[in-house]
Amino acid sequence: MAEPVNGFSKLTKNQKIEWLAKNHFINKEEGIKTLEQYWNKDAKLQALHDEFIENTISNFYLPLGIAPNFLINQKYHTIPMAIEESSVVAAAGKAAKYWQQRGGFKTKILGTEKIGQVHFMYHGDASKLKSFFTEVEPKLYKATETITENMRKRGGGISTIELRNKTSQLDNYYQLHCTFETLDAMGANFINSCLEAIAKTFSAEAHQNSLFSPEEKNIEIVMSILSNYVPNCVVKAEVSCKIEELNEDKNLNPQEFADKFVRAVAIANAEPHRAVTHNKGIMNGVDAVVLATGNDFRAIEAGAHAYASKSGSYKSLTHAEIKDGIFKFWIEIPLALGTVGGLTSLHPLVKLSLEILDKPSARALMQIIAVAGLAQNFAAVRSLITDGIQKGHMKMHLMNILNQLGATAEEKAYFVDFYKNKTITHSNVIKEFNDLKAKNV
C-alpha cells in the first residue's frame, strides 16, 4: 500500500519515480526501465511534454494513423487519427473509398455559437434584478473590452449576454447566459476570462445599486464557466446515392441493404442501449481526429452525448432515409473545436496533423471531424447488418493477439495468411499458435 506523501509536485522527476517505484512497482528496476523507454531522447522535446501536466513521469503513446481518400465537398483529405482500437483507421479508409466512388461527403456548418454562464444566487425581487441587468449590461461588455479586443478585430467576441431566471429549477438561482464567437480558437480560456470579468463587474455594480435592498445587493456569484453543451455549434455531414449504386453487399441486394441500414439506424433512434453503442462507434472516428488535432475529446464527448439526448431520450447522432430512390445518411453533431491556441502550436505531432489537413480553420475541422464520425458509423453499421462486426474486428485484432503471444515476424505473416478465409477467435489463435510451436520444436 502507498504511503501518503506531502509536497509531491515539488520533487524532481527522478525523486517522483523513486517514490513511485518504492511504493508501487513489483519489480523496481523493470518499472523504471519501462518509464524511461518512453522518454524522448531529445531532451527539449521531453521537457515540452513534461510541462504539459503536473507530475509527468513518462509519455503515453497512442498510434497515429492516417486515412486517405476522404472526398469532402469535392476536395480530397487525408485524415490523421490517434487511436488504439485496431479496426478504426481501417474502417475509416474503407468508408472513405466507398463514398469516394459515390460522390463523396457533403458538409455544412449549421452554427458556431459557443456558450458560457455566470451562475449566481439572488435573494429578492426578480423584476428589480431585470431592470438592474438592463442598466448594467453595457458595462459588462465594457469590462471585457481588453480581453475581447483581438477577437473583435477578427470578427468574433461576445455575441449576447442574457439574464436567465432559473428559480423554477432551484431557489434563488439565476444566470448570465452568454454566447460567443471564438473563430478558430476553441475559446475555453477566452470565454472563462470574459465570464470572470463579467461576474466581477456584475457583483460590484449590484453592491452599488441604490434600488436593491441590502440582501438584494448581496448577489452570490457561485461560478463562471463555459458550457460544453453547444447545441448551436453544430455541423452536418452527409452522403447519398441512388439505391442501385449501393454495393451488392454479401447476401443483400442494394435495396435490401438500404432498407436494413435504415432499420438499423431507426433501432438506434428508438432504443438507448443501442444508441449508446451506435454513437460510441461514431465517436471512434470523431475522438481519433479530435486527439490528433490537439482538441479536448472530453469536451467533445460530453457535448455530443448531451446533444444526442436533447429530445429527452438518448438517440442516434446519425440519421438515414430512402426517398425517391435515393439513400441518404447523415450526421448532425456539435463540435466546439480550435485550430489555434492550446496544444495546436505546441505539440509537434498536433502541428503535423493540422498540416496533413492543410491547416484547416476551426469551421473546416468541424466538417472533417463530422465526416470521420459519419464514415466510422457507416462502416460499423454496414458490417453489423452484413458480416457481423467480429470478422473485420478480429482480422485487425489478430496482430494484438500474436504480439501478446510473442510471435515473430515470420509467424505473424504465417497467421495473417492462415486466417485469410477463416474465422478468428482469441482461443483459436492461441491453439493454432501453440500447435505451430509444438510442430516446430
Q: Which of 200, 260, 280, 328 binds ligand MEV (CB under 6 A)?
A: 280
Q: Is 102 in the site for ligand MEV (CB under 6 A)?
A: no
The helix/strand/coil state of 67 is strand
Element (H, E) at 263: helix 254-270
DSSP H helix total and E strand total for the chain: 16, 10
Binding-residue total with ligand MEV (CB under 6 A): 10
Give me the half-sphere count of Cα atoms (radius 13 Å) on the Cβ side of residue 322. Answer: 17
The minimum distance between CB 307 and ligand MEV, in angstroms, equals 18
Nearer to ligand MEV, 191 or 300 (CB): 300
The residue type at 55 = N
The minimum distance between CB 264 and ligand MEV, in angstroms, equals 8
Q: Which of 93, 116, 157, 281 binds ligand MEV (CB under 6 A)?
A: 281
> Grid cell 518512453 — which residue?
38
The minimum distance between CB 381 and ligand MEV, in angstroms, equals 6
Instruction: Answer for the pair 186, 147: CB distance below 8 angstroms, yes or no.
Output: no
Q: Pick the catalytic residue: 13, 16, 18, 85?
A: 85
> Grid cell 468508408 — which residue?
95
The minimum distance between CB 255 and ligand MEV, in angstroms, equals 22
Q: Is 93 in the site for ligand MEV (CB under 6 A)?
A: no
Give the residue nearest to ligand MEV (CB). Answer: 281
Question: Does the active-site annotation cover 28?
Answer: no
Q: Is 398 exposed, middle or buried (0-12, 13-18, 19+ CB in 10 A)?
A: buried
Q: Is 390 in the site for ligand MEV (CB under 6 A)?
A: no
Closest CA to 369 of 337, 325, 396, 397: 337
Closest CA to 235 of 121, 378, 108: 108
47-86: which residues touch ligand MEV (CB under 6 A)? Answer: 85
Question: Does the active-site annotation cover 245?
Answer: no
Question: Does the active-site annotation cover 393?
Answer: yes
**Of 146-154, 318-326, 341-349, 381-389, which part binds ligand MEV (CB under 6 A)?**
381-389
Question: Does the active-site annotation cover 387?
Answer: no
Sequential DSSP letters for 14-61: HHHHHHHHHHH-SSHHHHHHHHHHTS-SSHHHHHHHHTTSSS--S---
Q: Which of 380, 394, 402, 424 binds ligand MEV (CB under 6 A)?
A: 380
Q: Is 420 exposed, middle or buried (0-12, 13-18, 19+ CB in 10 A)?
A: exposed
Cell of 336: 466546439
Nearer to ligand MEV, 140 or 283 (CB): 283
Q: Which of 148, 224, 284, 295 binds ligand MEV (CB under 6 A)?
A: 284
Q: Pick the catalytic residue: 238, 296, 319, 347?
A: 296
**Of 151-159, 196-204, 274-282, 325-333, which part binds ligand MEV (CB under 6 A)?**
274-282
Q: What length is written for the chain?
A: 441
Q: Is 389 in the site for ligand MEV (CB under 6 A)?
A: yes
User: Where do runs of H (alpha helix) occur along 309-425?
Assistant: 348-356, 362-385, 389-404, 409-418
- Which residues are catalytic, by number? 85, 280, 296, 393
Which residues lie near ligand MEV (CB under 6 A)?
A: 85, 277-278, 280-281, 284, 380-381, 384, 389
